[in-house]
Amino acid sequence: MTANQVLVLEGISPDNIPFDDLFALNKPVILKGLVNNWPLVQAGKQSVEQAMAQLTENDTGRPLLAYRAPAHIKSRFGYNDTCTGFNYSSEKTRLSDVLAQIKAGFSDDEHEYLYINSLRFDQGLPELSKANTLNFSHPEFTNNQPVPKIWIGTESVAAAHFDQPKNIACCVLGKRRFTLFSPEQVDNLYPGPLSPTPGGQVVTTANLDEPDFEKFPRLKTALENAWVADLEPGDGLYYPSMWWHEVRAFDRFNVMVNFWWMTAKPYLGNPMDLLMHGMLTLRDKPAEEKAAWRALFDYYVFGDGEKVIEHLPVECHGPLAQMDELSARRLRAMLLNNLNR
């Protein structure tokens, strides 16, 4: 696999993250040693047991969802053979129980995989979250405060998928590898069904470790254009919205904290709804009609919003003008009315 070189920035701390530079690059960037001084990272560098003790002591006892998979999946959580279900099960449990089970299996050569996925850090471990955080004082976060999540478990591989938010992932315990792909590689990644999905997002159906180029010939192009970021405990990784990423945790016990944030106003809605509606209304039209609609989308949606209204009187701009909360409500009401006819 030929991979792009991921830029590495040294000397970055939670209080001096160069957000303007990261946003301008619009590519993955490793922030070396970003969270070296976090108490949880320091505990993990002393021993796995010390990190587990911090997690256990701060456990609120709230029920959470954990994922369990048999040894034969080789840590790769994903679909069953027909993509109608998954190769793992989910169960309601508590953090302290998960930690105890993982610890009990440390001496086993072959073991089940156990994984807590995307737990709200500030809700599940509120005091620990306060002590292990980043400074988000940049103007981008004025109305979009990042949501902290924590990921805890054995070895695991999360199949390549995309997320709408921007992200800073912080490697706390255990080594991690992110294999990232820019959004235009979607055609080469052979996405799975829209439903069901392992974690709420579409994932690739290809195995990046053992690529089957006969079944997935375009995957070779994706791998040739991949970006690979290897993280040690204490490192951070920034990557932009909509970048596909496979995440591998290598060790018998791993912890990651990430911070997601959206840049769009919450009232603007979810673009996936537009995608679904596009499949309903446009996908099965003749090619020449789809081409015509593509031109309209380029003009009204993906083009310059000012150009659309520059020749029109202000009084008739309506939803063509820049969207605010009131106009978004009006447009949503109109859409719902049209869909319900």
**Residue-range domain boundaries for the chain:** 3-263, 267-339
Q: In 3D, which of 10, 260, 231, 258 has the Cα closest to residue 132?
A: 258
Task: State the DSSP H helix or E strand holding residue 118, giving kind and residue range, or none if neither.
Answer: strand 113-120
Give 241's DSSP letter.
Answer: T
- 142-165 confidence digits (pLDDT tens): 888 999 999 999 999 999 999 999
8 Å CB contact between 165 and 252: no
The pTM is what? 0.95
Percent of the chain residues past pLDDT 70, beyond the cut:
99
- Measuring CA to CA, how many Å separate 247 from each of 158, 311, 319? 5, 48, 40
Assess whether pLDDT exceeds 70 at residue 1: no
- 170-222 confidence digits (pLDDT tens): 999 999 999 999 999 999 999 999 999 988 889 999 999 999 999 999 999 99
Cβ of 147: how many Cβ atoms within 10 Å? Answer: 15
Q: In 3D, which of 6, 41, 2 has the Cα closest to residue 239?
A: 6
Assess whether pLDDT exceeds 90 at residue 79: yes
Beta bridge partners of 168: 238, 259
For the domain made up of 3-263, the CATH class stated in words is mainly beta
Please measure the distance between the N-terminal and C-terminal CA atoms of the chain and give it in whole angstroms. Answer: 52
Q: Mean pLDDT over all residues of the chain?
A: 95
Determine the pLDDT at residue 143: 85
With b for 16 or more beta-carbon neighbours within 10 A and e for fewer, the 280-305 pattern comes to eeeeeeeeeeeeeeeeeeeeeeeeee
Determine the pLDDT at residue 334: 92
Determine the pLDDT at residue 2: 62
Determine the pLDDT at residue 200: 84
114 confidence band (pLDDT: 50, 70, 90) = very high
Show the tokens assigned to 297.
């989308």
Percent of the chain residues past pLDDT 90, beyond the cut:
93
Q: Taking residues 259-284, what's their average pLDDT?
A: 93
8 Å CB contact between 150 and 124: yes
